């Protein structure tokens, strides 16, 4: 029993070291070398919040949730470019395949590095929420949980697609399209009640809609019934599990 536990601990430590190495390579060092990219990442959602504040001051709190979701989604899908670059241009994935690490460890290492890269922008949005008095200790658990599921869904989809793409130029267009489809078109920056009924029904099929509903309730913008809350949690969890399984089972790890 002790020997088995020791082996499991050694395997866990090996995976943690592998993930930390990937985070250093792809997250921390790029931030140090090129901090300007942090401004670029932050500008996209912050400009939308700025214009919403100009035209509808009452909707800024909703827009801050939308901006936070945009950053989380971009953090997830942005790994596409890195995975394709490492696989096609640098052949780095070939070295990872030859190493003892698993595809899951590789995906999580790249994903966490992207999250580290975007963490200053996420921290700023959380600070803006706190300044508007819509973020408090009681709202943090559900807000963090919904953002975590949103991030896992986005990164799973991004990783799966990145293993199917052979030209990095295709990633740039696809990354922007996914970000728009998941974080701008659904009711994340604006109330779902503004949509016609048919559009509300369609938006309920999108995982970020439910992440937004749960986050907005957590910070006190809206109120959900117990049924609505349970439905949003179920759909968001279901999407997360489906996309994680897709990334785990259908991603191309070894080149044919």
pLDDT-derived band at 12 (thresholds 50, 70, 90) equals confident
48's enclosing H/E stretch is helix 36-55
Is residue 90 within 8 Å of residue 134, measured between CB atoms? Answer: no
Asked whether residue 26 is domain-assigned, the answer is: yes
pLDDT mean over 146-169: 88
pLDDT band at 1 (very low <50, low <70, confident <90, very high): very low
Question: How far apart are the C-alpha atoms of 123 and 20, rounded to whole Å?
Answer: 21
**Is residue 87 in a domain?**
yes
| pLDDT in the model for residue 81 | 80
Question: Is 256 a member of any domain?
Answer: no
Mean pLDDT of the chain: 85
Q: Is residue 109 part of a domain?
A: yes
Q: Specify if 255 maps to a domain.
A: no
Give the residue numbers spanning the domain of 136. 2-250
Q: Mean of the pLDDT values across residues 186-208?
A: 94
* 14-23, 49-58, 191-200, range with greatest mean pLDDT: 191-200
Predicted local confidence at residue 201, as pLDDT: 95
Share of the chain above pLDDT 90, in %: 41
Examine residue 75 and state whether it is found in any structural domain, yes or no.
Answer: yes
Is residue 105 over pLDDT 80? yes
What is 116-184 written as a DSSP string? HHHHHHHHHHHHHHHHTT---GGGHHHHHHHHHHHHHHHHHHHHHHHTT---HHHHHHHHHHHHIIIII
Domains identified in the chain, total number: 1
- Look at residue 2 in the predicted model and tell me its pLDDT: 46
Q: Which residues of 146-176 are buried (b: 16+ CB within 10 A; e: fewer)?
A: bbebbbbbbbbbbbbbbbebeebeebeebbe
């Amino acid at each position: 029993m002790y020997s088995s536990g020791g082996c499991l601990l050694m395997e866990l430590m090996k995976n943690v070291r592998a993930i930390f190495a990937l985070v250093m390579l792809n997250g921390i060092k790029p931030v140090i070398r090129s901090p300007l990219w942090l401004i670029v990442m932050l500008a996209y959602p912050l400009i939308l919040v700025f214009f919403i504040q100009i035209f509808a001051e009452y909707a800024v709190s909703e827009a801050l949730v939308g901006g936070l979701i945009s950053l989380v989604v971009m953090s997830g899908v942005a790994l596409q470019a890195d995975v394709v670059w490492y696989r096609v241009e640098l052949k780095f994935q070939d070295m990872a395949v030859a190493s003892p690490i698993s595809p899951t460890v590789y995906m999580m290492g790249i994903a966490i590095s992207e999250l580290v890269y975007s963490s200053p922008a996420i921290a700023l949005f959380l600070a803006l929420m706190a300044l508007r008095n819509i973020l408090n200790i009681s709202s943090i658990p559900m807000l963090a949980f919904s953002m975590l599921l949103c991030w896992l869904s986005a990164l799973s989809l991004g990783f799966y697609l990145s293993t199917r793409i052979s030209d990095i130029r295709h990633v740039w267009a696809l990354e922007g399209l996914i970000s728009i489809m998941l974080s701008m078109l659904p009711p994340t920056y604006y109330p779902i009640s503004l949509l016609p009924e048919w559009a509300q029904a369609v938006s309920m099929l999108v995982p970020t809609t439910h992440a937004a509903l749960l986050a907005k309730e957590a910070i006190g913008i809206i109120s959900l019934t117990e049924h609505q809350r349970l439905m949003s949690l179920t759909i968001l969890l279901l999407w997360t599990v489906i996309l994680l399984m897709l990334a785990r089972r259908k991603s191309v790890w070894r080149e044919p």
